[in-house]
Amino acid sequence: MDRRKFLKNSALASSLFFVPNFVKAFETVATEQLGYKRLVIVQLAGGNDGLNTIIPYNNDVYYNARPRLAISKDIIKLNDDLGFHPSLKPLRSLFDNGELSIINNVGYPNPVRSHFRSMDIWHTASGSDEYLQTGWLGRYLDQYGKKPYNAIELDEQLSLAMKGEHFNGIATNDYNVLYKTAQDPYFKNVINHYNDAHLSEHNLGYLYQTMIEATSSAKYIFEKTTVKSSNEDYPQNNFAKQLKNVAQFINSGLDTKVFYASLGGFDTHANQTNKQAKLLSQYADSVSAFVKDLKQNNTYENTLILTFSEFGRRVKQNAADGTDHGAANNVFVIGKNLKHAGVYNSLASLSNLDSNGDLKYSIDFRSIYATILTKWMNVSAEGIIPSQQKQLNFI
C-alpha cells in the first residue's frame, strides 16, 4: 500500500469519520450543559376543536353557535366557566394536583387556516408571512445537540420541527429493526470508504449523511435502551405505543432532549362528536399511562409534556355536524413543577370574534416556546425563536 493511500484509509477508518464535521464542532458542549430536562411534544394533527375539549359550559353563545355539537352532558368542571370534555377524565387528577396547565387562546397574528401552512408555522416558529426551512427544535439542537438521537420522533418520518440547519433528529417507529439493518457489513464498508467534504450540500450528500447518522444513532439507541418494556398498562393504539417507547427511552436514561409523538385525525369537518370523543380518549388514556410510568421510574420530575394542534376550529358548527378550520386554540403543558397550573388564562370572548368567526388569540405560541427554552431547557431563545417574545410564567 502506498503512503498516500495509507493516509487516506487510516483517516477514513478512524471513528471520527462517523461524526460529520459540523457535529464535531459541538463536542466541547458537555452533556452536563445539556442538563437532564426533557421535552415531550404531542401534536394533535388536523386541528383539534379546542372549544369542545375545554368547554365553556356556562356560555350561551357556545350553545347557540353549536346547536347539535355543543357538549352539555358529563362535563368535568374545572372552574366556574370551563370544563373537560368527558373523554379527558383520566387527566382530572393531573389537573387537581397542579400538574397540568391549560393555556387558552394560543395562536399568532394573521392566522392561516391551511393545515400544512399552519403546521409549518407551528413547527418553524415563523410568522404567518415568513417561510422558514428549519424547525424550532432543530435550531435548538443546531446549537445544543451533538447527536441525531438527541431528538427522537416516534414515527416513520421526521417532522419539520425536528430539522435544523445542520441537525436532523431521528425518526423511527421501531428502533430494533433500524439497528439490525444498520449492522450489515456492506453498509459499514461503504460508509468507511465514502469521502466527501461537502456533506449534505446536495441530495446525494444528504443521503450519505443520513445513512451515517442512522448507523451510529441506531447503535446508541439499541444498546442504551436497557429498560425493555414497561409494567404500566397502556391502551392498545399507535399513539400509546409511541408514548410507551418514549417512556422506555427516558427511563433508560438516553441522552435525548426532545421526543416527538403525534396523534392524527382531528380534522372533523363532518360528524365530529364521536370522532373527537374517541380521539380525546386515546389521548387522555395514553398520556395518563405515560405519566404514571414516568412517576414509577422517578423520571417525571425532569419531563415536560407540551400538547398543541395547528389551529382550533370555527366557533359556529357547520351543516355536516362538524366544524371548519379556525384560529386560536388551547395548549396543554403537563409537568411536575409548574408555576402556574390549572387554567392559566381565561377563554377569549365568544362574541368578539375575528372576521372569519374564529377565536382571537391572546398568547403567541412562540412565547410558549421561548418560555420553555429559557425556563425549562435553560438556554437563551435568541437565535432559536426568530421574533422577540415575552416570557410567560407557567414554569
- For residue 12, give Cα distances in angstroms to 4, 182, 209: 12, 18, 15
Cβ proximity to another protein, 213 vs 285, nearer residue: 213
Cβ proximity to another protein, 216 vs 288, nearer residue: 216
Residue 171 CB, shortest distance to another protein, in Å, is 5
Cβ proximity to another protein, 92 vs 117, nearer residue: 117
The answer for residues whose C-beta is within 8 angstroms of residue 368's C-beta and 6 or more apart is 103, 106, 306, 331, 333, 392, 394
* 217, 210 contact by CB (below 8 A): no
Of positions 195, 226, 229, 346, contacts another protein by CB under 8 A: 195
# residues contacting another protein (CB under 8 A): 53
Q: What is the dihedral of CA 101, 103, 104, 110, to 10 degrees?
A: -160
Q: Nearest Cα to 311, choosing from 365, 261, 258?
A: 365
Contact region for another protein (CB under 8 A) — 50-58, 175-183, 222-230, 343-351? 175-183
Classify residue 313 by its DSSP letter.
Answer: B
* 287, 226 contact by CB (below 8 A): no
Secondary structure element (H or E) that encloses residue 383, with its range: none
Cβ proximity to another protein, 76 vs 160, nearer residue: 160
Q: In the window 318-377, what residues touch another protein (CB under 8 A)?
A: 318-320, 322, 324-325, 355-356
Contact region for another protein (CB under 8 A) — 59-67, 187-195, 237-245, 368-376? 187-195
Q: In the window 204-263, what residues touch another protein (CB under 8 A)?
A: 204, 206-208, 210-211, 213-215, 217-218
Contact region for another protein (CB under 8 A) — 136-144, 276-284, 316-324, 385-393? 316-324
Of positions 203, 231, 236, 298, contacts another protein by CB under 8 A: 203
Applying CB under 8 A, does 165 fall inside the site for another protein? no
Residue 242 sits at the vertex; the CA angle it makes with 236 and 245, to the nearest 5 degrees, is 105
- For residue 85, give Cα distances in angstroms to 70, 72, 343: 10, 9, 15
* 259, 38 contact by CB (below 8 A): yes
Residue at grid coordinates 358548527: 317
> Which residues in this chain contact another protein in the complex, by CB under 8 A?
12, 112-117, 148, 156-158, 168, 170-173, 178, 181-182, 184-187, 189-190, 192-196, 202-204, 206-208, 210-211, 213-215, 217-218, 269-270, 318-320, 322, 324-325, 355-356
